[in-house]
Chains A and B, each alone.
Chain A
Amino acid sequence: MENERKLIVGAMVTLSLATAAMIVVPFMQLKDVPAPEALAPYTSEQLRGREVYIANACIACHTQQPSTTGAGIADASRGWGRASVAADYHYDNPPLLGTMRTGPDLFNIGARQPSADWHLGHLFQPRAYVPGSVMPAYRYMFEVKDPGSVAKGERVVSLPPGAVEEGKVVVAKPEALDLVAYLQGLDRTYTVLSAEEAEWAASRLAPSRLAKEPAEAVTDTNESGNTDETKTNP
């Protein structure tokens, strides 16, 4: 090859093709997808919590995408919820889909674990709640204090015995409270199908999987949404 112009032009054409397929067409296809009615925008506290989630790279270990293939088939039975759709991420900038499941999926963590006390205590010392967990202890989001020095309005974390030394209390810093507000808000258990779509979907299911009504199946996973981490909740 002698002609550098052919090289550069060719290289740009192949890159443009890839960009068109991977960015431009999805952009056009997805840009008018509305938010699901049941999905509320984030509160400012939740948005701050989302920033804490991003700053600490929680996506390094947690996905937010119950999947349609592979492990996704087990996702519903673990209480992680239905497979996510594009509209679920309407308010997410950026979406925190994640690529690793060193920890469980958090798409619906707010539904399966609504307790702020559980989340705060778990962030302070995950192993006090989930034996064998490898999640880091986020001790720097908390202050360990003498009970007498707790100021009015500070959130004292209720912890299982042994999680902090005798005679001390643990106070959550604002970043921990924001993060927990975000996690509590992660609840996409609403249905994303219209009545006709749900009926159509049911008609496509294999008979063996038709045991439950689709709508019922959705609620069912929410209520039985106890993962192992929540079972040890004191």
Chain B
Amino acid sequence: MNPTALLLATFILSIVGLFAFIWSMRKGLFDATSSGARSIFSKDEIGQTEEPSATAQQRRSLQGVTNANERDSVSQEGVSPTEIAAREAADRSSALPAYVLFACAAVWLVVASAAGLLASVKLHAPDLLTDTAWLTFGRLRTIHLNGVAYGWAPMGLLGLAIWLLPRLLHTPLQGGRLVILGAALWNGGLIAGLGGLAVGISAGMEWLEIPWQIGSLFAIGGMLIGLPLVFMLPRRKVHHLYVSVWYMGAALFWFPILYIVAKIPGVHFGVEQATMNWWYGHSVLGLFYTPMSIAIIYYLLPKIIGRPVRSYNLSLLGFWTLAFFYGQVGAHHLIGGPIPEWLITLSIVQSVMMIIPVLAFSINQHLTLKGYFSALKHSPVLRFIFFGACMYTVASVQGSLEALRSLNAVTHFTHFTVAHAHLGMYGFVSMVIFGGIYFAMPRVVNMPWPKPALISWHFWLVVAGFSIYIITLSIGGILQGLVLLDPARPFMDSVAVTLPWLKGRSIGGAMMTLGHLIFAYHLALMIIRSSSVPSSVPAPAPAPQQITA
């Protein structure tokens, strides 16, 4: 039997198996209504908006949008005080671990932005700061990547997961101290790892540069931060597991496994290390950052507008197809490379199949927001996560197309790939984390954001900067790729053609960095002000109601 037929047969068999599996979990897959979608709302809560980052004026307007839509279903009695108290207890139980993780995330965001911005400038000013080893382009770029990949993004996402799980499982956080211990180990590892990269200690594989002796702290820390989920699942007071729990639960299990398999010393060899490298590199995006961010959107979006997810079963389909396809796309980073051809083909096929979970998510999001788009004017958090959700669609569809050999021929090896990576890790993941922190932090420290205007500054600065970044770098990358494809043109043309666009990228990057400084300043201001109020004393019972209504 020839390999192509074998591969095709395996593929078809797995797809059939996958769909049978989904079917076994849920009959009537495409029903538009489901009680599961309502499980994040308390009794009579549908129609109540929740937007802790909004000003009183914004909250009234937001509620107005929902009232106009849900005239019939809005309850006049409001939410029962016991359920409000239960949610308040859930929020209090997760406050300290979430607080620690958010604060770490903000610090790493600033560090990674500074490294990234300087690296960007050095690409068009190559004689800047060349007397110091750790300030050279290669090391700064590596510090930037690892600062985002192991600092900002996981700290922010894990913090939001720890904050959301008690709410989703209707039970106080179990093992909060383990979370703090895990965060301490993780951050210790990251400080050592980034310091090592600065002095030139590197394992030499992208996304896995931090050597295993240090990196094992990420695996241990990640497991410790995931343990509360294991403790809480048996004690949960909801029968149904909401869609966000599947995404978060799976991702919390996936990450340590991915990292451990990638880092086992003495197993991987030669070119097999390259296939492992991209199995990890793409799986950590697809099976960790992406599902965590999707989980946050699936909770916050319905909460903010007070309306359950429209097609709950579509989200189930999206979850299992993502779990199945996303782990196998990594070899598209090695198209044309010295690895088995069947593996590249497999990854291209699965990259295109990723369109299924992406469309499932996008359609669902659109249906849920239909009629509520004016809520974007009134809710700062919704703006961030809506932008993030849109960028998820754009980045994923672009990724599927980029994996096709004909388009990959142009974009492979160029700055276009860097732009694409930022579309995913920034436009999608980072924007969702910003939105999530703006939502959660007022609950964590029991006070509103001190200067709501700064949230708008942050949003518009990073959106403008990000747009400049993506547009200029994508154009530069395509031009670079076209020159590289043309044997008649000298290589140096491919460098020269990118220069104006690289400068544009630095401008965009500087605006994004400025936005991050505003965000970090605002968060620091909130932390300082909240520490002058005794936060351990539970607020009076109606507190959440005040923030809600």
Which residues on A are within 8 Å of B, measured CB to CB? Answer: 1-2, 4, 6-8, 10-12, 14-15, 17-19, 21-23, 25-27, 29-31, 33, 52, 54-61, 63, 65, 67-74, 77-78, 83-86, 88-90, 92-97, 99-104, 126-127, 130-140, 227-229
Q: Judge whether A11 and B275 touch: CB under 8 Å.
A: no
Contacts of A33 in B (CB 8 A): 270
Report the count of interface residues on B (CB-CB < 8 A).
99
The answer for the CA separation of A22 and B206 in the assembled complex, in Å, is 17
- Looking at the complex, which one of A59, A67, A86, A133 makes contact with B206 (CB distance below 8 Å)? A59
- Looking at the complex, which one of A6, A86, A228 makes contact with B338 (CB distance below 8 Å)? A86
CB distance from B109 to the nearest CB of A (A): 21
The answer for the CA separation of A12 and B339 in the assembled complex, in Å, is 26
Contacts of B126 in A (CB 8 A): 126-127, 133-137
Q: Judge whether A101 and B273 touch: CB under 8 Å.
A: no
- Looking at the complex, which one of B270, B331, B498 makes contact with A89 (CB distance below 8 Å)? B270
Q: List 19 A-B contacts (CB under 8 A).
A: A6-B25, A10-B21, A12-B253, A19-B279, A23-B275, A57-B141, A57-B202, A60-B137, A85-B338, A88-B338, A93-B273, A97-B274, A102-B495, A104-B491, A127-B126, A131-B492, A136-B122, A138-B130, A140-B132
CB distance from B71 to the nearest CB of A (A): 32
The answer for the CA separation of A212 and B316 in the assembled complex, in Å, is 57
Which residues of B108-164 are within 8 A (CB) of A?
122-124, 126-127, 130-133, 136-139, 141-142
Q: Judge whether A54 and B283 touch: CB under 8 Å.
A: no
Q: Judge whether B273 and A74 touch: CB under 8 Å.
A: no
Q: Judge whether A56 and B136 touch: CB under 8 Å.
A: yes
CB distance from B406 to the nearest CB of A (A): 9
Smallest CB-CB separation from B331: which chain A residue? A22
Q: Judge whether A101 and B21 touch: CB under 8 Å.
A: no
Q: Judge whether A140 and B276 touch: CB under 8 Å.
A: no
Q: Judge whether B204 and A2 touch: CB under 8 Å.
A: no
Among B26, B323, B337, max chain A CB count under 10 A is at B337
- Looking at the complex, which one of B206, B272, B333, B484 makes contact with A101 (CB distance below 8 Å)? B484
Q: Judge whether A69 and B484 touch: CB under 8 Å.
A: no
The answer for the CA separation of A86 and B494 in the assembled complex, in Å, is 28
B412 within 8 A of partner (CB): yes
The answer for the CA separation of A18 and B258 in the assembled complex, in Å, is 11
B239 within 8 A of partner (CB): yes
Q: Judge whether A74 and B405 touch: CB under 8 Å.
A: no
Which residues on B are within 8 Å of A, measured CB to CB? Answer: 14, 21, 25-26, 36, 122-124, 126-127, 130-133, 136-139, 141-142, 200-206, 209, 233, 239-241, 245-246, 249-250, 253-254, 257-258, 261, 268-279, 283, 287, 316, 320, 323-324, 326-328, 330-331, 333-340, 343, 346-347, 405, 408-410, 412-415, 417-418, 480-481, 484-487, 490-492, 494-496, 498-499
Q: Judge whether A90 and B270 touch: CB under 8 Å.
A: yes
- Looking at the complex, which one of A18, A19, A60, A68 makes contact with B138 (CB distance below 8 Å)? A60
Q: Judge whether A18 and B142 touch: CB under 8 Å.
A: no
| A137-B127 in contact given A8-B253, A12-B253 (Cβ < 8 Å) | yes
Q: Judge whether B337 and A65 touch: CB under 8 Å.
A: yes
CB distance from B252 to the nearest CB of A (A): 10
Contacts of A88 in B (CB 8 A): 338
Q: Judge whether B254 and A11 touch: CB under 8 Å.
A: yes
Q: Judge whether B206 and A99 touch: CB under 8 Å.
A: yes
The answer for the CA separation of A73 and B418 in the assembled complex, in Å, is 23
The answer for the CA separation of A101 and B124 in the assembled complex, in Å, is 15
CB distance from A74 to the nearest CB of B (A): 4
A-B interface contact total, Cβ < 8 Å: 261
Q: Judge whether B327 and A58 touch: CB under 8 Å.
A: no
Q: Judge whether B21 and A18 touch: CB under 8 Å.
A: no
Q: Judge whether A71 and B491 touch: CB under 8 Å.
A: no
The answer for the CA separation of A101 and B241 in the assembled complex, in Å, is 46
Smallest CB-CB separation from B124: which chain A residue? A134
CB distance from B404 to the nearest CB of A (A): 11
- Looking at the complex, which one of B240, B320, B328 makes contact with A22 (CB distance below 8 Å)? B328
CB distance from B141 to the nearest CB of A (A): 5
The answer for the CA separation of A229 and B324 in the assembled complex, in Å, is 46
- Can you add 13 more A-B contacts, CB < 8 Å, to A55-B200, A134-B495, A137-B126? A2-B241, A4-B249, A8-B250, A18-B279, A26-B340, A58-B138, A61-B137, A65-B338, A85-B338, A101-B413, A136-B122, A137-B130, A140-B136
Among A31, A33, A69, A138, max chain B CB count under 10 A is at A69
CB distance from B323 to the nearest CB of A (A): 4
- Looking at the complex, which one of A7, A67, A73, A127 makes contact with B241 (CB distance below 8 Å)? A7
Q: Judge whether B246 and A139 touch: CB under 8 Å.
A: no
CB distance from A195 to the nearest CB of B (A): 22
- Looking at the complex, which one of B249, B273, B316, B409 makes contact with A8 (CB distance below 8 Å)? B249
CB distance from B120 to the nearest CB of A (A): 12
- Looking at the complex, which one of B26, B268, B410 makes contact with A70 (CB distance below 8 Å)? B410
| A1-B241 in contact given A19-B279, A27-B272, A78-B487 (Cβ < 8 Å) | yes
Q: Judge whether B130 and A71 touch: CB under 8 Å.
A: no
- Looking at the complex, which one of B26, B269, B334, B494 makes contact with A93 (CB distance below 8 Å)? B269
Q: Judge whether B490 and A228 touch: CB under 8 Å.
A: yes
- Looking at the complex, which one of A12, A78, A83, A135 makes contact with B336 (CB distance below 8 Å)? A83
The answer for the CA separation of A193 and B498 in the assembled complex, in Å, is 37
Contacts of B275 in A (CB 8 A): 22-23, 26
The answer for the CA separation of A90 and B331 in the assembled complex, in Å, is 19
Q: Judge whether A89 and B409 touch: CB under 8 Å.
A: no
Among B203, B331, B495, max chain A CB count under 10 A is at B495
CB distance from B287 to the nearest CB of A (A): 7
The answer for the CA separation of A1 and B366 in the assembled complex, in Å, is 23
The answer for the CA separation of A83 and B414 in the assembled complex, in Å, is 18
Q: Judge whether A74 and B484 touch: CB under 8 Å.
A: yes
Contacts of B21 in A (CB 8 A): 10
Contacts of A26 in B (CB 8 A): 271-272, 275, 339-340, 343
- Looking at the complex, which one of B205, B254, B485, B495 makes contact with A94 (CB distance below 8 Å)? B205
| A97-B337 in contact given A7-B249, A14-B327, A19-B279 (Cβ < 8 Å) | yes
Q: Judge whether B139 and A56 touch: CB under 8 Å.
A: yes
Smallest CB-CB separation from B283: which chain A residue? A18
Smallest CB-CB separation from B122: which chain A residue? A136
Q: Judge whether A72 and B343 touch: CB under 8 Å.
A: no
| A101-B138 in contact given A1-B241, A10-B323 (Cβ < 8 Å) | no
Q: Judge whether A10 and B320 touch: CB under 8 Å.
A: yes
Q: Judge whether A227 and B491 touch: CB under 8 Å.
A: yes
Q: Judge whether A95 and B241 touch: CB under 8 Å.
A: no
The answer for the CA separation of A13 and B336 in the assembled complex, in Å, is 29
| A15-B413 in contact given A22-B330, A22-B331 (Cβ < 8 Å) | no
Smallest CB-CB separation from A231: which chain B residue? B490
The answer for the CA separation of A67 and B409 in the assembled complex, in Å, is 10
- Looking at the complex, which one of B130, B136, B337 makes contact with A67 (CB distance below 8 Å)? B337
The answer for the CA separation of A134 and B497 in the assembled complex, in Å, is 12
The answer for the CA separation of A104 and B491 in the assembled complex, in Å, is 7
Listed from nearest, the 10 A-B pairs whose CB atoms lie closest are A18-B327, A70-B409, A55-B200, A57-B138, A67-B336, A69-B336, A22-B279, A11-B250, A54-B204, A77-B487
